[in-house]
Chain A
Amino acid sequence: MEIGLTHFLIISGILFSLGLFGIATRKNAIMVLMSMELILNSANINFIAFSRFGGFNMEGQIAALFVIILAAAEVAVALAIVLNIYQNYHHVNVDEINKLKG
């Protein structure tokens, strides 16, 4: 069977949904951040697949590179914030960090 565009799109759709599901259900802040990575990488797969099957249009490849770089920067900042949460609360359970509400 020939691997075509549809296969890539299905994979990226599954990854995107898993990421959303993870963010909604996971309690640990680190797991939430990992789910975020799934969403960004599903977008990457889309970019690359469209670029590959759209006649090697380079813009998609460049976009994927940008997304990878920004994902790394974002995770660096997010981990620093989670570390700070750990120093203040001695846990990283997102559900229990809810002093602000109303």
Chain B
Amino acid sequence: MTITQSYLNNLMASVGYFAPEIAIVVTFIVAILFDLMFKKSKNIAAYISIIGLIITGFILSGNIGISKSLFDGLIVVDPYSTFFKFLFLITTILIMVMSLSYKELYDNNRKVGEYYSMLVGITFGMFLLASAVNLITIYLSIEILSLSSYVLAGYTKEIRRASEASLKYVIYGSLSSGIMVYGMSLLYGATMTLDVAKINVAILSGHVELFPIIIGGLMILVGFGYKMSAVPFHYWTPDVYEGAPITITSYLSVASKAAGFAVFIRFFKDLYLLPATSDINIWNTISNFHWQTIVAVLSVLTMTVGNFVALWQENVKRLLAYSSIAHAGYILMAVVVMTNVGITSILLYFVFYMIMNLGAFFVAQLFANKIGSDDLKDYIGLGYRSPVLAVLMTVFLISLTGLPPTAGFIGKFYIFTAVLDKGFVWLAVIGVLNSVVSLFYYAKIFRNMFLRSVADDTKNNFKFSAPAFPLSIAYVLAFATILFGLYFSPILNWAENSVTMFK
């Protein structure tokens, strides 16, 4: 058999497992075409995208339990990536449904076709990122993900703060991806391969220079840290989250962050994986260089800075932005231990974090539709003006704090268990103290809503609620938040079955 033929056979064998990604690309193209063809119906791209992504979900369910390397080791399909892909799909569909009722987006008779098709584009980038095991694929998928997010952050382009957000996003984003690709070139130079598994083999063989590998790894960490919005690579987060349309803010804070964590965990696990026989700490492959300490410091910095700066925020979007930085810090705690228990807790946490964070942003969006503001001072008295929404918001905020009986408590509980399991008592203590601090600023929101008297001017005193359809979505999210706080074993089983990565 000639070489060409073996490549062709490999290609044909791989395409079947690549079907979900192909379905997304088809959705993307069809959504754009139909948006151009049927100019009368405004939301046609949205409906096509949602239907296409649901179909993708069905195709993706065929990949459950499969562990396989595709396209000559460019990407892999394994339970770990499939878990994240489902997470991205659910998030994207929820965000699209939420966007349908977002007033700011539909103001000024704006065309929204590109908005929805670009969300599909981001989903494609995240799908690739979750299964990338080659330096080129990692860089390529991070760029696919970023390019659409830059545009979406400034989608409401005549609003000044949105265009400022997209400018800051594009500058910080391309800087960090530039540093990352330089780090990749160093890794390539030291080992002469772009395949992460082969780099690992080269490191284990002991015949390579370790210095460029360590520096390259640190530079790649900059790129991932930017996606995860870990301190000190978080500078873009508050500005972009405040300026961008609120649906995009919640999307970036859940899906984009999850994608960053997915590739971060897989990359470092693959890169420094010891031979399968040992279950000792995988961070210690390179002796004399303490990756574990670096990630631990990153985690402590991330949650502390996130929580403490959130204390004096006056804008709800910005406050939730800092809270999402803090949550990245909690999740990084479990990355420090990097055991199977730790990765299970991360997967579990992301499911719960998706539900409660999307819920909180969604209620903030419904408020903004009516009162036209995200400022904390405009939330005064909302508990009387719109009791239903205010109670829903409180449920999500309690869950974000991590109090029982909500999903947030279960998520944090498992992360702390994983951390204590490996003996990192000091890390767990800092995490718990940070949760206490976070209660203070979340409480600021519901204190403003319920405990402060309504302003006297009659103009801003009307009672309101949300339309039935958005309200029912908020109900479902709140119900899930409480349900998963009491009964979570299906999600836990799913997460436990999803920690296997392709080797």
Contacts and interface: CB of A to CB of B under 8 A. Distances in A.
Interface stretch (B168-176, B283-291, B433-441, B443-451): B168-176
B101 interface: no
A25 B137 CA distance: 32
Contact of A74 (B135, B143, B318): B143
Given A88-B158, A88-B163, A70 B140 contact: yes
B252 to A, nearest CB: 15
A8 to B, nearest CB: 10
B147 to A, nearest CB: 5
Given A39-B175, A74-B147, A81-B167, A63 B136 contact: yes
A14 interface: no
Classify the interface of chain B: helix, strand, loop or mixed: helix
A39 B243 contact: no
B143 A81 contact: no
B181 interface: yes
**Which among A29, A70, A98 has the greatest number of chain B C-beta atoms within 10 A?**
A70
Interface residues of B, number: 44
Interface in B145-187: 146-147, 150-151, 154, 157-158, 160-161, 163-168, 170-171, 174-175, 178-179, 181-182, 184-186
A47 B147 contact: no
Contacts of A54: 189, 192
Contact of A100 (B174, B242, B314): B242
Contacts of B179: 39
B194 interface: yes
B193 interface: yes
B479 interface: no
**Which among A39, A49, A57, A62 has the greatest number of chain B C-beta atoms within 10 A?**
A39
Contacts of A29: 167, 171
B373 interface: no
A82 B171 CA distance: 10
A99 B164 contact: yes
Interface string A44-64: 101101100011010110110
Contacts of B181: 40, 43, 67
B188 interface: yes
Contacts, number: 122
A11 interface: no
A67 B150 CA distance: 18
Contacts of B175: 23, 36, 39
A62 B136 contact: yes
Classify the interface of chain A: helix, strand, loop or mixed: helix
Contacts of A99: 160-161, 164
Interface string B456-470: 000000000000000
A73 B186 contact: no
Contact of A50 (B143, B189, B314): B189
Contact of A73 (B143, B154, B160): B143
A21 interface: no
Contact of A97 (B164, B182, B189, B314): B164
Interface in A8-30: 12, 16, 19, 23, 29
Given A77-B147, A97-B167, A43 B136 contact: no
Contacts of B171: 23, 29, 32, 36, 78, 94
Contacts of B194: 59, 63
Nearest to B309: A102
Interface string A66-78: 1100100110011
B139 interface: yes
Given A50-B189, A70-B139, A77-B151, A85 B163 contact: yes
A46 B189 contact: yes
A81 B147 CA distance: 11
A85 B167 contact: yes
B292 interface: no
A62 to B, nearest CB: 7
Given A43-B178, A77-B170, A101-B239, A85 B151 contact: no
B163 A60 contact: no
Nearest to B151: A77
B67 interface: no
B187 to A, nearest CB: 10
A4 B112 CA distance: 54
B174 A74 contact: yes
Nearest to B171: A32
A99 to B, nearest CB: 6
B238 interface: yes
B150 A60 contact: no
B313 interface: yes
A88 B171 CA distance: 18
Contacts of B315: 102
A102 B313 contact: yes
A50 B150 CA distance: 32
Interface string B117-157: 00000000000000000011001100100110011001001
21 contacts: A23-B171, A29-B171, A32-B171, A33-B174, A36-B175, A36-B178, A47-B188, A50-B192, A57-B192, A57-B193, A63-B184, A66-B139, A74-B147, A74-B170, A78-B171, A84-B166, A85-B167, A88-B157, A100-B239, A100-B242, A102-B318
Q: Which 4 A-B pairs have the closest CB atoms?
A: A46-B185, A39-B178, A50-B189, A100-B239
Given A43-B182, A81-B151, 4 more contacts: A74-B146, A78-B171, A78-B174, A81-B163
